[in-house]
C-alpha cells in the first residue's frame, strides 16, 4: 500500500471514529383535513396560480365538456389524440363523442418487439394533443398530480404538444398536504402506480446561459379543464 493511500484511509478512519451519530428521523404529522366550503374560491386560486405559470384554465359545465374539447382540437387542427382510457376520465362519453366527430383515439400502449414498437412510436410522435384526468389539482401552486398505470399513460401528458387535463371538484385541494391528508395509506397509494407526475404549467428548460425554452421536454401548452 502506498504512503498516499495509507494517509487517505487513515484520515477516513479517523473521521468515521469521531463522527457524530446521525439524528433520528423526526416524525411528521400532517395537519388535519379541513372541509372545503367554497370550491369556486379554490378553483379561482388554482386558475390564478396556473396563469402565473403560463397555463390555461377553463371552467365548463360537465355536460358541455365534450363540445369544448372538440373546439380545442379544431383550433389546433388535431385529428388524433393520445388519451387515458374512458374509465379513467372524469367526463363520461367524452371519447365516444370525439370518435363520432372523426377524431382518432391513439392507443398509447407501446409494444416491446420490433417493428411494431417503432411503428407505434412513430404514430405517437405525430399526435400533438393528449387528454388525461388528474388525481389532484393543488390550488396553492397550480399543480396537477397524475398517477400513471394501466389506461393512464404518461405519454398522454408528456410527449404531446398540448396537454388537456380534466378534473372535477373532487380532485381540487388547497395544497399537497391537504390532498395527502385525504389518502388513507399514502405509501400504498403511491406504490400502486408506476409513476406520479406533478405538472405545474408548460415544460420549461433553461441552459447555463439562462436561456429559457418552453416545450422541449414536455408540452408547450397545458390546459386545465375544470368540470364545474
Three-state helix/strand/coil letters over the chain: CCHHHHHHHHHHHHHHHHCCCCCCCCCCCCCCCCCCCCHHHHHHHHHHHHHHCCCEEEEECHHHHHHHHHHHHHHCCCCEEEECCHHHCCCCCHHHHHHHCCCEEECCCCCCCCCHHHHHHHHHHHCCEEEECCCEEECCCCEEEEEEECCECCHHHHCCCEEEEEECHHHEECCHHHHHCCCCCHHHHHHCCCEEEEECCCCEEECCCCCEEECCCCCCEEEEEEEC
Alpha carbon distance 72, 164 (integer Å): 9
Which residues lie closer than 8 Å to 128 by C-beta, 6 or more apart? Answer: 76, 78, 160, 161, 162
Q: What is the pLDDT of residue 120?
A: 86
Share of the chain above pLDDT 90, in %: 54
What's the mean pLDDT in 157-186? 89
- Residue 59 — pLDDT band, cuts 50, 70, 90? very high
**Could you report how far apart the first and last alpha carbons of the chain are, in Å?**
73
Q: What is the pLDDT of residue 31?
A: 63
pLDDT beyond 70 at 147: yes
What's the mean pLDDT in 5-29? 77
- Taking the CA atoms of 63, 68, 73 and 74 in sequence, report the sign of the dihedral they define: positive
Share of the chain above pLDDT 70, in %: 90
Q: Of 103, 97, 222, 221, which is closest to residue 166 (Cα–Cα)?
A: 222
pLDDT (tens digit, 9 = 90+) per residue, 206-222? 777 777 777 677 789 99
Domain layout of the chain by residue ranges: 37-227
Question: Which architecture, in CATH terms, is 37-227?
Answer: 3-Layer(aba) Sandwich (3.40)
- Taking the CA atoms of 54, 60, 65 and 70 in sequence, report the sign of the dihedral they define: negative
| Beta strand pairing call for 136-138 and 143-148 | antiparallel
Amino acid at each position: 500500500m502506498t504512503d498516499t493511500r495509507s494517509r487517505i484511509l487513515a484520515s477516513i478512519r479517523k473521521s468515521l471514529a469521531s463522527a457524530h451519530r446521525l439524528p433520528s428521523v423526526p416524525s411528521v404529522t400532517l395537519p388535519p383535513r379541513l372541509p372545503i366550503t367554497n370550491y369556486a374560491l379554490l378553483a379561482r386560486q388554482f386558475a390564478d396560480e396556473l396563469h402565473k405559470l403560463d397555463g390555461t384554465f377553463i371552467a365548463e359545465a360537465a355536460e358541455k365538456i365534450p363540445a369544448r374539447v372538440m373546439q380545442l382540437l379544431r383550433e389546433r387542427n388535431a385529428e388524433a389524440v393520445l388519451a387515458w382510457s374512458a374509465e379513467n376520465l372524469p367526463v363520461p362519453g367524452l371519447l365516444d363523442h370525439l370518435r363520432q366527430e372523426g377524431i382518432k383515439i391513439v392507443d398509447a400502449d407501446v409494444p416491446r418487439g420490433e417493428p411494431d414498437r417503432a411503428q407505434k412510436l412513430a404514430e405517437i410522435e405525430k399526435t400533438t394533443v393528449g387528454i388525461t384526468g388528474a388525481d389532484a389539482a393543488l390550488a396553492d401552486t397550480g399543480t396537477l398530480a397524475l398517477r400513471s398505470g394501466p389506461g393512464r399513460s404518461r405519454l398522454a401528458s408528456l410527449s404531446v404538444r398540448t396537454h388537456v387535463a380534466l378534473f372535477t371538484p373532487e380532485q381540487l385541494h388547497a395544497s399537497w398536504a391537504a390532498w395527502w391528508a385525504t389518502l388513507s395509506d399514502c405509501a400504498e397509494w403511491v406504490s400502486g402506480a408506476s409513476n406520479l407526475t406533478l405538472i405545474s404549467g408548460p415544460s420549461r428548460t433553461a441552459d447555463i446561459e439562462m436561456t429559457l425554452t418552453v416545450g422541449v421536454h414536455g408540452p408547450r401548452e397545458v390546459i386545465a379543464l375544470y368540470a364545474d
